[in-house]
Homo-oligomer: A and B are copies of this chain.
Amino acid sequence: MEYVYAALLLFKAGKEINESSVQAVLTAAGIAVNESRVKALVASLDGVDIEEAISKAAAAPVAVAAAAP
């Protein structure tokens, strides 16, 4: 999950999420970075609306209502 937090940090900072920026954040945390995971993360975020994804978490409430029969 630490890779994802690195991406979120960069996102909040308004920085581009790319391999080197993610790597930099993880390295600063003292983490031995797995290059492939960084690549995979960056690739998977391509085209994703991060703002929307995290705002859904904020909404994601409790409302898993049972469907009426």
Query: Footprint of B on A, CB under 8 Å?
Result: 1-2, 5-6, 8-10, 12-15, 21, 24-31, 34-41, 43-44, 53-69
Count of identical protomers in the assembly: 6
A69 surroundings in chain B (CB, below 8 A): 1, 54-56, 58-62, 68
Q: List 28 A-B contacts (CB under 8 A).
A: A1-B69, A5-B8, A6-B29, A9-B26, A9-B31, A10-B29, A12-B29, A13-B29, A14-B30, A15-B31, A25-B29, A27-B28, A37-B40, A37-B43, A56-B69, A57-B60, A57-B64, A58-B66, A59-B62, A59-B64, A59-B69, A61-B67, A62-B62, A62-B65, A62-B66, A62-B67, A64-B65, A66-B66
